Amino acid sequence: MLGPPGSGKGTRAHIISELYDLPVITTGDMLRTAVAEGTECGKIAKSYMDKGELVPDDIVNGVVRERFQKPDVEDGFILDGFPRSKGQADALDQILEDNNIELTHVILVVLDDKVIVERLSKRRSCPKCGEIYHLESKPPKKQGVCDVCGAALIQRDDDKPDVIKHRLEVYAEQTKPLIKKYRDQGLILETSGVIPMDQLRDHLKELLG
């Protein structure tokens, strides 16, 4: 899944995972878990994540490489939020080659920066189960409480306006150039980030054939 922060990569990855019974490898979640557990990687990652910067390639590549040791990737997987830089794309090429895996699609989610800022600043997340809400389009039933697990909802530090703007700059500088690489390989499938939730499943089914 490729696309700016807040474009809906996670939502789409989740639906595709259900449609095709594939595990989702979400680097953002893996890094947040490392931060919560207070591991060495987590401590380093936190300082970058709080500022909306990319966590250094060697850490992220290491986390992803380790994830590929698990047997559940054997029949396919969805990468959500990785690669995000040239160094990561090179590492992914190497991981795929080492594991004799072929990349079949790169789904590019396209969304306007203005919509992203609006969407992310009203996003609330459950720190316990990962469920995502939006104050207007998907509010929790009870204000501030997760519908799924009852935990108190939070606004991620990096979903605050200044940090969002910086994340968009980082995306434009470091991640956007990857679009050309995957377009040249004929792998890009483009999808809009504003498709209504109730149409998303059918849309993705059609997109992936």
According to the binding rule CB under 6 A, does residue 167 interact with ligand AMP?
yes
Q: Which residue is nearest to ligand AMP (CB)?
A: 28
99-158 residues near ligand AMP, rule: CB under 6 A: 158
Among 1, 16, 60, 89, binds ligand AMP (CB under 6 A): 60
Which residue number, 24 or 31, has a Cβ lying nearer to ligand AMP?
Answer: 31
Among 12, 46, 119, 167, the one annotated catalytic = 167
Is residue 77 within 8 A of residue 22, CB to CB? The reply is: yes
Active site annotation includes 12: no
Among 86, 156, 165, 181, the one annotated catalytic = 156
Angle at 61 between CA 165 and CA 41, to 5 degrees: 80
Among 67, 84, 119, 124, the one annotated catalytic = 84
Angstrom distance (rounded) from CA 119 to CA 34 = 26
Angstrom distance (rounded) from CA 107 to CA 68 = 20
61-100 residues near ligand AMP, rule: CB under 6 A: 81-82, 84, 88
- Residue 152 CA to its chain's centroid (Å): 22
Residues in the interface with ligand AMP (CB under 6 A) total 17
Which residue number, 82 or 133, has a Cβ lying nearer to ligand AMP?
Answer: 82
Minimum distance from residue 130 beta carbon to ligand AMP (Å): 10
User: Across-strand partners of 78?
Assistant: 24
Site string for ligand AMP, 13-52 (x = CB under 6 A): --------------xx--x----------------xx--x
Q: List residues binding ligand AMP (CB under 6 A).
A: 5, 27-28, 31, 48-49, 52-55, 60, 81-82, 84, 88, 158, 167
Supply the residues annotated as catalytic. 9, 84, 123, 156, 167
